[in-house]
Amino acid sequence: MKKASYILAFICLGLFFILLINFEKTSLVQFDKAMSDVLFGNGLITIFHLLGETTAIVIIALILLFVLWLKQRNYRGMLFVLLTIGLGRVLNQLIKNWVDRPRPELANDITSFSFPSGHAMIGLLYLFTIAYLLSEVLVRNNHVMIVWVTAIILTFLIGLSRIADSHHYATDVIAGWVIGYAWFVICVFWYEQRKHKNNKINNNT
């Protein structure tokens, strides 16, 4: 992973803490309201929440694990998936319960807390994980670019869907994106360090 990705991860981590400390301030409350007014009820965007549902993510993660095991015997990649998506989910729930931010008033059917958005965070994590692993096996750079652009667009739409259906504030979604990206980069750092170490051992044997 390029150095710019690590720099961006630090920026994202800083932005997350800024949002964490300030989401109740008037300027951000007004921002949340403005975003809700723009997106609320947009059916075209709302439908993308399905890609961030727990059931869909579990199925996709299991398929990904199965492919990594059956096709590639990539056990390090399997652990990478568990770290990004599985542990990322745990991290999201821990932060939500710690911050204890109530959902928007219209989200009466949801009992969990609001900050950060799980759809935004886990959506980014599983889409970026798929894109990263695909980029390892794709040969052409334009194919890699298409995969990453698709992952970014879908991540964006999943997050916006939570504002459109009034299940999250905009600040929840942005916080989900930035902490999700920071966690993803941490996991990639571990993955690449392990890969480099294994390659070094194999070259010396």
Query: Is 24 part of any domain?
Result: no
How many domains is the chain partitioned into structurally? 1
Please give the model's pTM, rounded to 2 decimal places.
0.90
Range of the domain at 54: 48-195
Q: Can you tell me the distance from the alpha carbon of 129 to that of 125, in angstroms, rounded to the nearest whole number?
A: 6
Residue 116: asked if its preceding bond is cis (omega within 30°), the reply is: yes
Q: Which of 40, 77, 162 is nearest to 112 (CA)?
A: 162
Residue 111 lies in a domain: yes
User: Cβ distance 163 to 169 under 8 Å?
Assistant: yes
Tens digit of each residue's pLDDT (9 = 90 or more) over 22-57: 999 999 999 999 999 999 878 888 899 888 888 999
Amino acid in the structure at residue 110: I
The predicted pLDDT at position 104 comes to: 87
121 within a domain of the structure (yes/no) = yes
107-155 tens-digit pLDDT: 556 677 889 999 999 999 999 999 999 998 887 888 999 999 999 999 9
- Asked if the structure places residue 201 within a domain, the reply is no
Give the mean pLDDT of 4-20: 95
Higher-scoring residue by pLDDT: 201, 85: 85
